[in-house]
Protein backbone atom coordinates (compact mmCIF):
# COMPACT_ATOMS: atom_id res chain seq x y z
CA UNK A 1 0.00 0.00 0.00
CA UNK A 2 1.27 3.49 -0.88
CA UNK A 3 -0.20 6.55 0.78
CA UNK A 4 0.04 10.26 0.01
CA UNK A 5 -0.33 12.63 2.95
CA UNK A 6 -1.12 16.22 1.97
CA UNK A 7 0.06 18.43 4.83
CA UNK A 8 3.07 18.03 7.12
CA UNK A 9 1.56 19.49 10.29
CA UNK A 10 0.84 17.63 13.54
CA UNK A 11 -1.74 15.34 11.86
CA UNK A 12 0.29 14.54 8.72
CA UNK A 13 3.62 14.00 10.47
CA UNK A 14 2.10 11.86 13.22
CA UNK A 15 0.37 9.76 10.56
CA UNK A 16 3.69 9.35 8.72
CA UNK A 17 5.33 8.22 11.99
CA UNK A 18 2.49 5.77 12.72
CA UNK A 19 2.50 4.34 9.16
CA UNK A 20 6.25 3.90 9.41
CA UNK A 21 5.66 1.84 12.58
CA UNK A 22 3.35 -0.45 10.58
CA UNK A 23 5.78 -0.66 7.66
CA UNK A 24 3.39 1.20 5.31
CA UNK A 25 5.00 3.34 2.61
CA UNK A 26 4.00 7.01 2.48
CA UNK A 27 4.96 10.37 0.96
CA UNK A 28 4.23 13.73 2.61
CA UNK A 29 3.75 16.94 0.61
CA UNK A 30 3.98 20.16 2.62
CA UNK A 31 3.16 23.62 1.26
CA UNK A 32 5.67 25.45 3.48
CA UNK A 33 9.43 25.45 3.22
CA UNK A 34 11.48 23.21 5.50
CA UNK A 35 12.34 24.28 9.04
CA UNK A 36 9.84 27.06 9.74
CA UNK A 37 10.29 28.53 13.22
CA UNK A 38 8.23 31.05 15.17
CA UNK A 39 4.58 30.19 15.44
CA UNK A 40 2.56 29.61 18.56
CA UNK A 41 2.58 27.36 21.59
CA UNK A 42 0.48 24.22 21.78
CA UNK A 43 -0.55 22.22 24.80
CA UNK A 44 -0.19 18.46 24.52
CA UNK A 45 -2.86 16.59 26.46
CA UNK A 46 -3.56 13.00 27.33
CA UNK A 47 -4.33 11.71 23.81
CA UNK A 48 -1.27 13.35 22.26
CA UNK A 49 0.83 12.25 25.19
CA UNK A 50 -0.32 8.63 24.81
CA UNK A 51 0.51 8.63 21.08
CA UNK A 52 3.91 10.26 21.71
CA UNK A 53 4.65 7.55 24.27
CA UNK A 54 3.82 4.79 21.79
CA UNK A 55 6.06 6.43 19.18
CA UNK A 56 8.89 6.63 21.73
CA UNK A 57 8.94 10.42 21.48
CA UNK A 58 7.58 11.58 24.83
CA UNK A 59 11.10 12.07 26.25
CA UNK A 60 12.00 14.43 23.40
CA UNK A 61 8.74 16.35 23.79
CA UNK A 62 9.37 16.76 27.52
CA UNK A 63 12.93 17.94 26.88
CA UNK A 64 11.64 20.67 24.52
CA UNK A 65 8.65 21.67 26.67
CA UNK A 66 8.11 25.25 27.78
CA UNK A 67 8.51 26.13 31.46
CA UNK A 68 5.18 26.18 33.26
CA UNK A 69 4.34 27.95 36.50
CA UNK A 70 2.22 30.91 37.58
CA UNK A 71 -0.28 32.59 35.26
CA UNK A 72 -1.27 36.17 35.94
CA UNK A 73 -4.37 37.89 34.53
CA UNK A 74 -4.90 41.65 34.44
CA UNK A 75 -7.50 44.00 33.08
CA UNK A 76 -6.70 46.16 30.07
CA UNK A 77 -5.35 48.88 32.36
CA UNK A 78 -2.84 46.50 33.91
CA UNK A 79 -4.65 45.98 37.23
CA UNK A 80 -4.38 42.43 38.59
CA UNK A 81 -7.58 40.39 38.28
CA UNK A 82 -6.51 36.90 39.36
CA UNK A 83 -3.78 34.29 39.18
CA UNK A 84 -3.36 30.53 39.25
CA UNK A 85 -0.60 28.01 38.67
CA UNK A 86 -0.40 25.76 35.60
CA UNK A 87 1.42 23.14 37.66
CA UNK A 88 -1.74 22.56 39.72
CA UNK A 89 -3.71 21.95 36.53
CA UNK A 90 -1.04 19.64 35.12
CA UNK A 91 -0.92 17.61 38.33
CA UNK A 92 -4.72 17.35 38.30
CA UNK A 93 -4.59 15.85 34.80
CA UNK A 94 -2.31 13.07 36.00
CA UNK A 95 0.82 14.83 34.73
CA UNK A 96 0.06 13.88 31.11
CA UNK A 97 0.22 17.44 29.79
CA UNK A 98 2.94 19.72 28.48
CA UNK A 99 3.27 22.91 26.43
CA UNK A 100 5.63 23.13 23.48
CA UNK A 101 6.28 25.54 20.61
CA UNK A 102 4.72 24.24 17.42
CA UNK A 103 7.99 24.32 15.45
CA UNK A 104 9.79 22.33 18.18
CA UNK A 105 6.97 19.78 18.09
CA UNK A 106 7.24 19.49 14.30
CA UNK A 107 11.05 19.24 14.39
CA UNK A 108 10.86 16.21 16.65
CA UNK A 109 8.37 14.41 14.42
CA UNK A 110 10.25 15.38 11.25
CA UNK A 111 13.54 14.00 12.60
CA UNK A 112 11.72 10.82 13.60
CA UNK A 113 10.36 10.10 10.10
CA UNK A 114 13.13 11.55 7.94
CA UNK A 115 15.08 8.85 6.13
CA UNK A 116 12.05 6.54 6.03
CA UNK A 117 9.45 8.96 4.67
CA UNK A 118 9.89 11.34 1.73
CA UNK A 119 8.76 14.84 2.71
CA UNK A 120 8.40 17.14 -0.30
CA UNK A 121 8.40 20.75 0.90
CA UNK A 122 6.91 23.67 -1.02
CA UNK A 123 4.72 21.18 -2.85
CA UNK A 124 0.95 20.89 -3.00
CA UNK A 125 -1.62 18.76 -4.79
CA UNK A 126 -2.69 20.55 -7.99
CA UNK A 127 -5.12 17.93 -9.32
CA UNK A 128 -6.49 14.64 -8.07
CA UNK A 129 -8.50 11.83 -9.66
CA UNK A 130 -9.80 8.75 -7.83
CA UNK A 131 -10.72 6.06 -10.40
CA UNK A 132 -11.80 3.50 -7.80
CA UNK A 133 -8.63 1.38 -8.06
CA UNK A 134 -6.19 4.14 -7.13
CA UNK A 135 -5.69 7.89 -7.01
CA UNK A 136 -3.79 9.83 -9.69
CA UNK A 137 -2.20 13.00 -8.37
CA UNK A 138 -0.59 15.92 -10.18
CA UNK A 139 1.63 18.05 -7.95
CA UNK A 140 2.25 21.79 -8.05
CA UNK A 141 5.68 21.22 -9.68
CA UNK A 142 3.99 19.35 -12.55
CA UNK A 143 5.12 15.87 -11.50
CA UNK A 144 2.56 13.03 -11.36
CA UNK A 145 2.20 9.92 -9.23
CA UNK A 146 -0.37 7.27 -8.31
CA UNK A 147 -1.33 6.23 -4.76
CA UNK A 148 -3.64 3.70 -3.13
CA UNK A 149 -4.89 6.27 -0.64
CA UNK A 150 -4.66 10.04 -0.22
CA UNK A 151 -4.99 11.68 3.20
CA UNK A 152 -5.97 15.36 3.47
CA UNK A 153 -4.08 16.58 6.56
CA UNK A 154 -3.73 20.12 5.24
CA UNK A 155 -5.49 21.93 8.04
CA UNK A 156 -8.47 24.16 8.63
CA UNK A 157 -8.43 25.69 5.13
CA UNK A 158 -7.76 22.32 3.48
CA UNK A 159 -7.28 22.53 -0.27
CA UNK A 160 -7.76 18.79 -0.62
CA UNK A 161 -11.13 19.03 1.12
CA UNK A 162 -12.14 21.81 -1.26
CA UNK A 163 -11.05 19.74 -4.28
CA UNK A 164 -12.82 16.52 -3.26
CA UNK A 165 -15.56 17.31 -0.72
CA UNK A 166 -16.69 20.84 -1.60
CA UNK A 167 -16.03 24.53 -0.88
CA UNK A 168 -14.55 25.59 2.48
CA UNK A 169 -17.66 27.57 3.41
CA UNK A 170 -19.85 24.43 3.22
CA UNK A 171 -18.10 22.96 6.27
CA UNK A 172 -17.60 26.07 8.36
CA UNK A 173 -19.18 26.72 11.74
CA UNK A 174 -17.94 30.19 12.77
CA UNK A 175 -17.91 30.78 16.54
CA UNK A 176 -17.97 34.58 16.26
CA UNK A 177 -14.32 35.32 17.09
CA UNK A 178 -11.06 36.04 15.39
CA UNK A 179 -7.66 35.16 16.84
CA UNK A 180 -4.02 35.87 16.17
CA UNK A 181 -0.79 34.38 17.52
CA UNK A 182 2.87 35.11 16.82
CA UNK A 183 6.25 35.09 18.52
CA UNK A 184 8.02 38.14 19.98
CA UNK A 185 11.40 38.86 21.54
CA UNK A 186 11.12 39.86 25.22
CA UNK A 187 12.93 42.98 26.43
CA UNK A 188 12.24 42.09 30.06
CA UNK A 189 11.16 38.80 31.67
CA UNK A 190 7.39 38.40 31.91
CA UNK A 191 7.58 37.46 35.60
CA UNK A 192 5.14 34.57 35.06
CA UNK A 193 4.68 31.67 32.66
CA UNK A 194 1.68 33.48 31.21
CA UNK A 195 0.58 37.09 31.45
CA UNK A 196 -2.96 37.59 30.21
CA UNK A 197 -5.12 40.67 29.84
CA UNK A 198 -8.83 40.87 29.27
CA UNK A 199 -11.56 43.31 28.50
CA UNK A 200 -15.14 42.97 27.38
CA UNK A 201 -15.09 40.94 24.12
CA UNK A 202 -11.28 40.63 24.27
CA UNK A 203 -8.54 38.34 25.59
CA UNK A 204 -4.81 38.64 24.97
CA UNK A 205 -1.67 37.30 26.49
CA UNK A 206 1.94 36.19 26.27
CA UNK A 207 3.44 32.80 27.17
CA UNK A 208 7.11 32.75 28.19
CA UNK A 209 8.89 30.33 25.85
CA UNK A 210 11.97 30.16 28.10
CA UNK A 211 14.53 31.45 25.58
CA UNK A 212 14.00 35.22 25.81
CA UNK A 213 10.94 35.14 23.55
CA UNK A 214 7.22 34.86 24.15
CA UNK A 215 4.35 33.33 22.20
CA UNK A 216 1.35 35.63 21.96
CA UNK A 217 -2.31 34.72 21.71
CA UNK A 218 -5.04 37.30 21.07
CA UNK A 219 -8.73 36.62 20.59
CA UNK A 220 -11.67 38.98 20.18
CA UNK A 221 -15.32 38.93 19.26
CA UNK A 222 -15.60 39.44 15.51
CA UNK A 223 -18.25 37.99 13.22
CA UNK A 224 -16.32 38.66 10.00
CA UNK A 225 -14.78 35.67 8.25
CA UNK A 226 -13.07 37.22 5.22
CA UNK A 227 -9.29 36.82 4.91
CA UNK A 228 -7.05 39.85 5.44
CA UNK A 229 -3.61 40.73 4.08
CA UNK A 230 -0.72 41.73 6.39
CA UNK A 231 -1.76 45.40 6.52
CA UNK A 232 -5.38 44.50 7.21
CA UNK A 233 -4.31 42.20 10.06
CA UNK A 234 -2.12 44.92 11.61
CA UNK A 235 -4.98 47.39 11.40
CA UNK A 236 -7.44 45.04 13.08
CA UNK A 237 -4.97 44.18 15.85
CA UNK A 238 -4.26 47.89 16.42
CA UNK A 239 -7.94 48.69 16.47
CA UNK A 240 -8.63 46.07 19.14
CA UNK A 241 -5.46 46.05 21.26
CA UNK A 242 -3.52 49.17 20.24
CA UNK A 243 -4.30 51.06 23.47
CA UNK A 244 -3.36 48.18 25.79
CA UNK A 245 -0.29 48.59 28.06
CA UNK A 246 2.87 46.44 28.26
CA UNK A 247 3.59 43.66 27.50
CA UNK A 248 0.87 43.83 24.82
CA UNK A 249 2.09 47.18 23.49
CA UNK A 250 5.56 45.78 22.66
CA UNK A 251 4.06 42.64 21.15
CA UNK A 252 1.98 44.77 18.79
CA UNK A 253 5.01 46.83 17.78
CA UNK A 254 7.11 43.75 16.92
CA UNK A 255 7.60 42.57 13.34
CA UNK A 256 5.24 39.71 12.53
CA UNK A 257 6.21 37.00 10.04
CA UNK A 258 2.82 35.88 8.80
CA UNK A 259 4.29 32.75 7.18
CA UNK A 260 4.79 31.29 10.65
CA UNK A 261 2.12 33.16 12.58
CA UNK A 262 -1.62 32.84 12.87
CA UNK A 263 -4.49 35.20 12.05
CA UNK A 264 -7.86 33.74 11.22
CA UNK A 265 -11.47 33.42 12.09
CA UNK A 266 -12.22 30.99 14.92
CA UNK A 267 -14.43 28.44 13.18
CA UNK A 268 -15.01 24.76 13.54
CA UNK A 269 -15.02 22.40 10.60
CA UNK A 270 -17.88 19.92 10.36
CA UNK A 271 -17.68 17.32 7.57
CA UNK A 272 -20.57 14.83 7.60
CA UNK A 273 -18.35 11.95 6.43
CA UNK A 274 -14.58 12.14 6.56
CA UNK A 275 -13.87 9.88 3.59
CA UNK A 276 -14.88 9.70 -0.03
CA UNK A 277 -13.65 6.78 -2.13
CA UNK A 278 -9.92 6.41 -1.49
CA UNK A 279 -9.53 9.88 0.00
CA UNK A 280 -9.81 10.60 3.71
CA UNK A 281 -9.51 13.70 5.89
CA UNK A 282 -7.56 13.90 9.16
CA UNK A 283 -7.04 16.56 11.85
CA UNK A 284 -8.22 20.15 11.40
CA UNK A 285 -9.21 19.52 7.77
CA UNK A 286 -11.82 17.03 9.01
CA UNK A 287 -12.89 18.44 12.37
CA UNK A 288 -11.10 21.65 13.42
CA UNK A 289 -11.97 22.03 17.12
CA UNK A 290 -10.41 25.53 17.29
CA UNK A 291 -7.70 26.52 19.76
CA UNK A 292 -10.41 27.19 22.36
CA UNK A 293 -10.53 23.48 23.20
CA UNK A 294 -6.73 23.34 23.48
CA UNK A 295 -6.93 19.75 22.22
CA UNK A 296 -6.61 20.03 18.43
CA UNK A 297 -3.07 18.70 18.25
CA UNK A 298 -3.69 15.80 20.60
CA UNK A 299 -6.89 14.83 18.78
CA UNK A 300 -5.09 15.02 15.42
CA UNK A 301 -2.38 12.74 16.81
CA UNK A 302 -4.92 10.27 18.18
CA UNK A 303 -6.73 10.30 14.82
CA UNK A 304 -3.47 9.62 12.99
CA UNK A 305 -2.65 6.73 15.30
CA UNK A 306 -6.08 5.13 14.86
CA UNK A 307 -6.16 5.68 11.07
CA UNK A 308 -2.74 4.05 10.64
CA UNK A 309 -3.73 1.09 12.84
CA UNK A 310 -6.96 0.56 10.89
CA UNK A 311 -5.18 0.83 7.53
CA UNK A 312 -2.67 -1.78 8.72
CA UNK A 313 -5.58 -4.14 9.46
CA UNK A 314 -7.19 -4.40 6.02
CA UNK A 315 -9.16 -2.71 3.27
CA UNK A 316 -9.36 1.07 3.11
CA UNK A 317 -13.18 0.92 3.11
CA UNK A 318 -13.30 -0.83 6.49
CA UNK A 319 -10.37 1.20 7.78
CA UNK A 320 -12.02 4.55 7.01
CA UNK A 321 -15.30 3.46 8.62
CA UNK A 322 -13.58 2.11 11.74
CA UNK A 323 -11.39 5.24 12.04
CA UNK A 324 -14.43 7.50 11.87
CA UNK A 325 -16.46 5.35 14.28
CA UNK A 326 -13.62 5.43 16.84
CA UNK A 327 -12.85 9.16 16.55
CA UNK A 328 -16.22 10.79 15.89
CA UNK A 329 -17.57 10.64 19.51
CA UNK A 330 -14.42 12.31 20.87
CA UNK A 331 -14.51 14.99 18.16
CA UNK A 332 -18.20 15.74 18.70
CA UNK A 333 -17.63 16.06 22.44
CA UNK A 334 -14.56 18.31 22.09
CA UNK A 335 -16.31 20.55 19.54
CA UNK A 336 -19.11 21.07 22.07
CA UNK A 337 -16.56 21.79 24.82
CA UNK A 338 -14.81 24.27 22.54
CA UNK A 339 -18.05 26.17 21.88
CA UNK A 340 -18.79 26.27 25.61
CA UNK A 341 -15.28 27.50 26.46
CA UNK A 342 -15.60 30.28 23.88
CA UNK A 343 -18.56 31.75 25.78
CA UNK A 344 -16.54 31.87 29.03
CA UNK A 345 -13.10 32.70 27.61
CA UNK A 346 -14.17 35.95 25.96
CA UNK A 347 -16.14 37.90 28.58
CA UNK A 348 -19.27 39.50 27.16
CA UNK A 349 -19.68 42.18 29.87
CA UNK A 350 -18.00 43.77 32.91
CA UNK A 351 -20.07 41.42 35.05
CA UNK A 352 -18.80 38.46 32.98
CA UNK A 353 -15.23 39.61 33.64
CA UNK A 354 -15.89 39.82 37.37
CA UNK A 355 -17.49 36.37 37.42
CA UNK A 356 -14.58 34.90 35.45
CA UNK A 357 -12.06 36.55 37.78
CA UNK A 358 -13.83 35.01 40.73
CA UNK A 359 -14.57 31.52 39.37
CA UNK A 360 -11.41 30.70 37.40
CA UNK A 361 -8.90 30.85 40.27
CA UNK A 362 -11.24 28.67 42.35
CA UNK A 363 -11.70 26.13 39.55
CA UNK A 364 -7.96 26.02 38.93
CA UNK A 365 -7.01 25.72 42.59
CA UNK A 366 -5.90 22.41 44.07
CA UNK A 367 -9.26 21.18 45.46
CA UNK A 368 -11.18 21.82 42.22
CA UNK A 369 -8.58 21.46 39.44
CA UNK A 370 -9.35 17.77 38.94
CA UNK A 371 -13.03 18.56 38.45
CA UNK A 372 -12.22 21.39 35.98
CA UNK A 373 -9.83 19.14 34.08
CA UNK A 374 -12.54 16.44 33.88
CA UNK A 375 -15.09 18.94 32.54
CA UNK A 376 -12.96 20.54 29.84
CA UNK A 377 -10.27 17.99 28.88
CA UNK A 378 -10.67 15.16 26.42
CA UNK A 379 -11.09 11.68 27.85
CA UNK A 380 -8.29 9.26 26.97
CA UNK A 381 -9.14 7.48 23.72
CA UNK A 382 -8.68 3.70 23.58
CA UNK A 383 -5.74 3.66 21.18
CA UNK A 384 -5.04 -0.05 20.96
CA UNK A 385 -8.58 -1.39 20.42
C1 LIG B 1 -3.16 30.02 18.13
C2 LIG B 1 -3.44 28.58 18.24
C3 LIG B 1 -3.20 27.92 19.45
C4 LIG B 1 -3.47 26.57 19.56
N5 LIG B 1 -3.25 25.95 20.74
C6 LIG B 1 -3.43 24.62 20.84
C7 LIG B 1 -3.14 23.94 22.05
O8 LIG B 1 -2.74 24.53 23.05
N9 LIG B 1 -3.32 22.60 22.09
C10 LIG B 1 -3.75 21.90 21.00
O11 LIG B 1 -3.86 20.68 21.07
N12 LIG B 1 -4.06 22.52 19.85
C13 LIG B 1 -3.91 23.86 19.75
N14 LIG B 1 -4.22 24.50 18.58
C15 LIG B 1 -4.82 23.73 17.48
C16 LIG B 1 -3.78 22.97 16.72
O17 LIG B 1 -2.75 23.83 16.29
C18 LIG B 1 -4.42 22.27 15.54
O19 LIG B 1 -5.55 21.56 15.94
C20 LIG B 1 -3.42 21.31 14.92
O21 LIG B 1 -2.29 22.01 14.48
C22 LIG B 1 -4.05 20.55 13.77
O23 LIG B 1 -3.07 19.90 13.05
P24 LIG B 1 -3.24 19.59 11.50
O25 LIG B 1 -1.97 18.93 11.09
O26 LIG B 1 -4.53 18.91 11.29
O27 LIG B 1 -3.40 20.99 10.78
P28 LIG B 1 -2.37 22.19 10.69
O29 LIG B 1 -1.69 22.40 11.99
O30 LIG B 1 -3.10 23.32 10.11
O31 LIG B 1 -1.28 21.69 9.67
C32 LIG B 1 -1.58 21.60 8.30
C33 LIG B 1 -0.28 21.54 7.53
O34 LIG B 1 -0.60 21.43 6.15
C35 LIG B 1 0.13 22.39 5.41
N36 LIG B 1 -0.69 22.74 4.24
C37 LIG B 1 -1.72 23.60 4.16
N38 LIG B 1 -2.25 23.59 2.94
C39 LIG B 1 -1.53 22.70 2.22
C40 LIG B 1 -1.61 22.23 0.90
N41 LIG B 1 -2.52 22.71 0.03
N42 LIG B 1 -0.74 21.28 0.49
C43 LIG B 1 0.22 20.80 1.35
N44 LIG B 1 0.34 21.22 2.61
C45 LIG B 1 -0.54 22.15 3.04
C46 LIG B 1 0.36 23.54 6.36
O47 LIG B 1 1.50 24.30 5.98
C48 LIG B 1 0.58 22.78 7.66
O49 LIG B 1 1.92 22.40 7.84
C50 LIG B 1 -3.97 25.85 18.45
C51 LIG B 1 -4.19 26.50 17.24
C52 LIG B 1 -3.91 27.85 17.13
C53 LIG B 1 -4.16 28.52 15.82
Model pTM greater than 0.85? yes
Is any atom of ligand 1 closer than 6 Å to the C-beta of 303?
no
- In a domain? residue 377: no
* Backbone dihedral region for residue 380 (phi beyond 0: left; psi -120 to 50: alpha; all else: beta): beta
Looking at residue 312, its pLDDT comes to: 97
Alpha carbon of 115 to ligand 1 centroid (Å): 23
Q: Are 173 and 166 a contacting pair, CB within 8 Å?
A: no
- In a domain? residue 370: no
Total number of domains in the chain: 1
Is any atom of ligand 1 closer than 6 Å to the C-beta of 152?
no
- In a domain? residue 354: no
Is any atom of ligand 1 closer than 6 Å to the C-beta of 291?
yes
Alpha carbon of 284 to ligand 1 centroid (Å): 7
Bridge partners, 83 (sequence order): 72
* Backbone dihedral region for residue 186 (phi beyond 0: left; psi -120 to 50: alpha; all else: beta): beta
Is any atom of ligand 1 closer than 6 Å to the C-beta of 378?
no
- In a domain? residue 367: no
Is any atom of ligand 1 closer than 6 Å to the C-beta of 297?
yes
Alpha carbon of 157 to ligand 1 centroid (Å): 10
- Closest residue CA from atom 51 of ligand 1: 291
Is any atom of ligand 1 closer than 6 Å to the C-beta of 181?
yes
* Backbone dihedral region for residue 362 (phi beyond 0: left; psi -120 to 50: alpha; all else: beta): alpha
Decide: helix, strand or coil at residue 266.
strand
- In a domain? residue 374: no
* Mutational pocket test of ligand 1: of 256, 291, 338, 341, the residue with most ligand atoms within 8 Å of the beta carbon: 291
Chunk the chain into consecutive blocks of 10 residues (it has 385) and report each block's average pLDDT, rounded to whole numbers: 97 98 97 83 94 98 93 93 91 88 94 96 98 98 98 98 97 96 92 94 94 94 92 96 94 92 95 98 98 94 98 96 98 94 87 90 88 85 92
Looking at residue 293, its pLDDT comes to: 86
Atom of ligand 1 nearest to the CA of 124: 42
Is any atom of ligand 1 closer than 6 Å to the C-beta of 36?
no
Atom of ligand 1 nearest to the CA of 102: 17
Whole-number Å distance between alpha carbons of 183 and 255: 9
Whole-number Å distance between alpha carbons of 126 and 142: 8
Atom of ligand 1 nearest to the CA of 45: 11
Looking at residue 12, its pLDDT comes to: 98
Atom of ligand 1 nearest to the CA of 299: 11
Is any atom of ligand 1 closer than 6 Å to the C-beta of 228?
no
Whole-number Å distance between alpha carbons of 150 and 155: 15
Looking at residue 90, its pLDDT comes to: 85
Looking at residue 168, its pLDDT comes to: 95
- In a domain? residue 363: no
Whole-number Å distance between alpha carbons of 241 and 199: 10
- In a domain? residue 225: no
Alpha carbon of 155 to ligand 1 centroid (Å): 5
Those residues with Cβ within 8 angstroms of residue 231's Cβ, 6 or more apart along the chain or in another chain: none
Which residue from 242, 203, 177, 193 is spatially nearest to 75, judged by alpha carbons?
A: 203
Alpha carbon of 79 to ligand 1 centroid (Å): 34
Q: How many CB atoms lie within 10 A of CB 294?
A: 22
CATH of residue 308 = 3.50.50.60
136: containing domain: 2-40+50-66+98-173+268-343
- In a domain? residue 324: yes
Atom of ligand 1 nearest to the CA of 158: 38
Amino acid sequence: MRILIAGGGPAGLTLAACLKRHGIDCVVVERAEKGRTGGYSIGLHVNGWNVAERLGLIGEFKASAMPLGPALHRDRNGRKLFSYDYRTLFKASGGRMLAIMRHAFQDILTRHVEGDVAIRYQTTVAAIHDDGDGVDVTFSDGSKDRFDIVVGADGYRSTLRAMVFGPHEDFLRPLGYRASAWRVPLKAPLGASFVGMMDVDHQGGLYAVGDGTAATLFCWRDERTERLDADGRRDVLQQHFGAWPEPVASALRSAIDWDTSFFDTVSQIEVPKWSRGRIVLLGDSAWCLTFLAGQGTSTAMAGAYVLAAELARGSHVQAFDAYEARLRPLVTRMQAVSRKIGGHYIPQSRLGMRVQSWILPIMLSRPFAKLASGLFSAPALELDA
